Amino acid sequence: MHGLLLTNLGTPDAPTTRAVRRYLREFLWDRRVIDLNPVARALLLYGVILPFRPKRSAHAYQQIWTPDGSPLLIHGQAHLRHSLHQATVGNRLHLTYFLIQPILIF
């Protein structure tokens, strides 16, 4: 059996300041993303990044958001559907997003 695992770090649930803040908080808290001790990472995240970046990023997301949602999620799902058509019987395909609300699509 062969398989294909499509992965992505995620996308905000909506192009709003609140949703982007939640996404950034979870993404940037990962010690592999910001390689600092937890205290320094918290100071950077809560003192410098989260007070300002979500509003600017939400504005950027609003420029590319579609009526169907996040382009990253939409294109990931389209890629999965295309791959399903190319797959032979016995192969498994998964699309996962690691952050916010993990999704597994078979």
Question: Residues near 35 by Cβ (< 8 Å), separated by ≥ 6?
Answer: none
Distance CA(70)–CA(65), nearest Å, equals: 5
Task: Please give the residue range of the domain that contains residue 100.
Answer: 3-105
Residue at token pair 């390689």: 35
Distance CA(88)–CA(97), nearest Å, equals: 24
Q: Which of 43, 17, 41, 47 has its CA nearest to residue 29? A: 41
Q: In the prediction, which pLDDT does 77 show? A: 83
Say if CB 23 and CB 69 are below 8 A apart: no
Distance CA(93)–CA(95), nearest Å, equals: 7
pTM for this one?
A: 0.74
Question: Does position 6 have pLDDT exceeding 60, yes or no?
Answer: yes
Q: In the prediction, which pLDDT does 43 show? A: 97
Q: In the prediction, which pLDDT does 96 show? A: 61
Distance CA(17)–CA(67), nearest Å, equals: 18
Residues 38-95 pLDDT 10s: 999 999 999 999 999 999 999 999 999 999 999 988 988 888 777 776 665 556 656 5
Q: Show the tokens assigned to 28.
A: 């940037």
Domain count along the chain:
1
